Structure 1
Amino acid sequence: MDWPAVHRLWAIILKELWAVLRDPKSRATLIAPPLLQLFVFGFAATLEVKNFDVGVLDQDHGVWSHEVVSRIAGSPNVRHVVALRSRADLHDAINNQEVIAAVAFDARFSADVLAGNTAEVQIILDGRRSNASQIVAGYLSQIISSVAAEAHPRPDGHAPVTWTTVTHWFNPNLEYQWFVMPGLIVVIGSLMGLAITAQSVARERELGSFDQLMVSPLRVHEILIGKMTPPLLIGLFNATVYILLIPTVFGVPLTGSLLFFYPAMIVYLLSLIGVGMLVSTLSYTQQQAFLGSFLVSVPAVLLSGFATPIDNMPAWLQAVTVINPLRYFLIISEGVFLKNMPADAILANTWPMALIALVTLSASAVLFRARME
């Protein structure tokens, strides 16, 4: 074993770790924000629509309009049912965002239901909140449909029966946290990994210590390994904290094997480090490195499939996602947590990240060597 090379490598690793961890504020920045983001996203950021208010304009005051209103009020997603007295009140309630939706019954609603005629219910939605309005419209339509099914029995006097069995694999109760929490390991890990790595070479230039590296006995690959090790260790530490908190605090099941998950995570972090090193090598100041990492991380998150499915993107944009490591590790993270992803499926999504890491790290080494000459 080449002990002088081992000592040089150990020295550069300690030097880089010390550069990252010596400042108490830096240490707090590496630990506190990821935990804060985990809890903020876990408890506050959700696409589910709950605790909304519904306005009701009941000009019928009959038994069937009362039944519909009662079921709306009894829904666990509805916070308040606001009684409206006129169309002007309905307009003001929507316009002032007092309610997200309003249900209007005309004066003959119950009579039409009892007579077996077509009875109409008008649902008015706040189009300024388009996504939430569509979800609320689904809730209200489902309630009204269930009442309509009971209001029109079959000729033999029995209520119509429809047998529908709905099964949601991997997330039986459609818990939103089950969907979002595994993805946070990917998204927050990418933001931290890119930010830390992108500062490394730029910090050397800004502090004037880059020239000392050039005249040191360290070789290029030793410098790169030394600069790659701290973000890799910090990324593994934060991910381990997430893996401990997500099942225990948020109740998301961890069904897969960590024995396969951690090697894939290491490859994922190396691919991020390669991108971060490219940004850092091309930057002359820490401010440029910060802006560069932001320029890379935001599109990477948007194109990962975390917020919107990749299948919904245009074909040319789907092709761009092929070089995005977040895309592959998001599949692995969700698969390991929710569906016990087998080893061959993990491997199928790991080798593209390994290829990305190989290309980016090699390019970083070439650029770094060119800058040292």
Structure 2
Amino acid sequence: MFHRLWTLIRKELQSLLREPQTRAILILPVLIQVILFPFAATLEVTNATIAIYNEDNGKHSVELTQRFARAKAFTHVLLLNSPQEIQPTIDTQKALLLVRFPADFSRNLDTFQPAPMQLILDGRNSNSAQIAANYLQQIVKEYQQTLMDGKPKPNNSELVVRNWYNPNLDYKWFVVPSLIAMITTIGVMIVTSLSVAREREQGTLDQLLVSPLTTWQIFVGKAVPALIVATFQATIVLAIGIWAYQIPFAGSLALFYFTMVIYGLSLVGFGLLISSLCATQQQAFIGVFVFMMPAILLSGYVSPVENMPVWLQNLTWINLSATLLILPSKFILRMRVWGLSGEVCGRYW
């Protein structure tokens, strides 16, 4: 029995890896995604241009301008000389946002009067502009705190935020663990969805059905190659994340792979269902993408599940990708002891 099963597994791997195009599909996208996504798929704003129109030229407006220029998000500072330049600067997208200091800005600060400043954002890039505006707000608050040093302060409570598992809020630490889930999902779905469709397209499905293999042996023979390929892809992403991006792995490696295998077996059923309904490999590819698009959108990779409507949040519980998207970050960034790992696995079983 085991000899027949091993023969089927070897045959599936050979038929899968025989063609150079298939090998390229399974390896090259993984490398491209793990290199590009941590830098491209990010909500951080960097290398933006900020325009300054300073009618005040006092010490406070100059100091704030210098602080804006030193911020990591802004690499170019465009100084305007007249109010007529404000609208063309935004309209031609020379700057993502513009700060205007009124003529009495520094005087109002020195006399403890309200000192408003105008912030103009480019609404065509609303998401990036709002994030950049939050950066500016933080810089202004820090400068306000600097001015308050040495002066009587109101006896109010102060909220101090400390990030435990990602102290610097490096976005790559969020993206790379999520890529493990996404790439594993794509790898398992593609391999399994092509398996039965390839047999039907090549005319060998009837030979497989009349062979001495049982139904469970055929199922295992189709599932194991997909798990091997997906585990290999996940290992590549994990290794690049640890050694290239310096993301700490704080959990159990054995338990991590165990959850990957359980998740892969769950996806094998969807892949074989798609493959059994398709007559050609091209139809199977289309079926995979029909499954993958809502799975990724509801997994929390694009937007947090907590920001979705309640009925949509309940719908994500039947989405396997939403579960595995949470587990890699917990294993890589959080797992310190086996007890916590078991608690997380039990919660998402």
Q: Confirm or deny a common fold (TM above 0.5).
A: yes
Among candidates 1, 4, 7, match of residue 11 of structure 1: 7
Q: Partners in 1 of 2:144 and 2:209 — Cα distance?
A: 79
Give 5+ residue unaligned stretches, structure 1: 352-373
Report the TM-score, using the length of structure 2 for normalisation.
0.93
Opposite residue 18 of structure 2, the aligned amino acid is: R
Among candidates 131, 154, 158, match of residue 151 of structure 2: 158
Opposite residue 27 of structure 1, the aligned amino acid is: R
Residues 53 and 79, structure 1, Cα contact 8 Å, conserved in 2: yes
Compared CA separation, residues 188 and 204, structure 1 to 2 (3 A): same
Identity %: 42
Does residue 53 in structure 1 map to residue 49 in structure 2? Answer: yes
Give 5+ residue unaligned stretches, structure 2: none
Does residue 80 in structure 1 map to residue 73 in structure 2? Answer: no
Q: Partners in 2 of 1:224 and 1:232 — Cα distance?
A: 12
The match for 2:190 is: 195
Among candidates 261, 264, 268, match of residue 269 of structure 1: 264
1:334, distance to aligned residue in structure 2 (A): 0.8
Deviations 1:150-202 (A, max 9, x none): 4567xxx6375996532112111111111111111001111121112111111
Compared CA separation, residues 239 and 150, structure 1 to 2 (3 A): closer
Q: Partners in 2 of 1:158 and 1:347 — Cα distance?
A: 52
The match for 1:100 is: 96
1:259, distance to aligned residue in structure 2 (A): 1.9
Among candidates 287, 309, 315, match of residue 314 of structure 1: 309
The match for 1:33 is: 29
Report the TM-score, using the length of structure 1 for normalisation.
0.87
The match for 1:363 is: none
Q: Partners in 1 of 2:238 and 2:44 — Cα distance?
A: 24
Opposite residue 158 of structure 1, the aligned amino acid is: K
Residues 47 and 73, structure 2, Cα contact 8 Å, conserved in 1: yes
The match for 2:208 is: 213
Does residue 343 in structure 1 map to residue 336 in structure 2? Answer: no
Does residue 110 in structure 1 map to residue 110 in structure 2? Answer: no
Q: Partners in 2 of 1:35 and 1:50 — Cα distance?
A: 24
Q: Partners in 1 of 2:148 and 2:344 — Cα distance?
A: 52
Opposite residue 239 of structure 2, the aligned amino acid is: L
Deviations 1:3-38 (A, max 9, x none): xx2222122111111110111221222122111111
Q: Which runs of 4+ in 1 moved over 6 A?
A: none
Residues 166 and 173, structure 2, Cα contact 8 Å, conserved in 1: yes
Does residue 132 in structure 1 map to residue 132 in structure 2? Answer: no
Residues 331 and 349, structure 1, Cα contact 8 Å, conserved in 2: no
Compared CA separation, residues 338 and 152, structure 1 to 2 (3 A): closer
Residues 149 and 159, structure 1, Cα contact 8 Å, conserved in 2: no
